[in-house]
Amino acid sequence: MDIAGQITGPQTPALTLSPDWTGSLPLSNLINIAERAVVDLNPLDPRLAHDLLRLTAYLWADQPHRLALTKAAAAIANVEVEKGDAIDWLETRLANPRTGHLHLIQNTIAWQYFPNSSQARGLELIEQAGARATVETPLASLSMENDGDATGGVGAALTLRLWPGNMTLHLGRIDFHGRWADWRHSS
């Protein structure tokens, strides 16, 4: 990521996000990702030409920059997307936390599409897993979701919850497509 000239992330990234940034810069630390897992009701594999064509068809034609970013991300895709219901899948994933690793639940502009009953069940599962979290099995939930902000209704809330301790950090707001970020959390 390139934030006001400060480069974060790997030395040779496949793509670089460069949003217009407001607010202080977040701490920059490299992290070690031990495992990734993804679920979708109808998963598409961007490594397959017909699936990539379908994914790029959802992008607006007047946004060639998003098309370029999507193709760059597809070129390095290396995680199989599991087919399934997100909340059922989450229940299984949260049942046995991995000792010595932070378990991060991350969702981006998805929650609003779940039925109310699924949202309630998902939140309950996360709360229960958070209550069970320990220093050896910490849990975090990072969400970028439309919150219906009445102060302008622009962008999505960026929120991080951490357990143990049930701490909520309101990190700021971000454009739905990553064009700008208003970072409000002081590091």
User: What pLDDT is stored for residue 153 in this prediction?
Assistant: 64
**DSSP structure string for 6-60:** EE-S-SS-S-----EEESPPPP----------EEESS---TTSHHHHHHHHHTS-
In this model, does residue 4 exceed pLDDT 90? no
In this model, does residue 17 exceed pLDDT 80? yes
Alpha helices in the chain (DSSP H): 49-57, 64-75, 86-95, 116-132
User: What pLDDT is stored for residue 151 in this prediction?
Assistant: 63
In the structure, what pLDDT confidence band is assigned to residue 88 with cuts at 50, 70 and 90? very high
Helix axes 116-132, 86-95, angle to 10 degrees: 10
- Pairwise CA distance, residues 8 & 103, whole Å: 22
Q: With 0.85 as the threshold, say if the pTM is over it.
A: yes
Which residues make Cβ contacts (< 8 Å) with residue 75, sequence separation at least 6? 14
User: What pLDDT is stored for residue 121 in this prediction?
Assistant: 98
Contacts 24+ apart (CB under 8 A), 151-160: 155/180, 155/182, 156/109
pLDDT tens digits, one per residue of 33-54? 899 999 999 999 999 999 999 9
pLDDT tens digits, one per residue of 107-157? 999 999 999 999 999 999 999 999 999 999 999 999 999 987 756 668 999
In the structure, what pLDDT confidence band is assigned to residue 85 with cuts at 50, 70 and 90? very high
Contact 137, 103 (CB under 8 A): yes
User: What pLDDT is stored for residue 150 in this prediction?
Assistant: 58
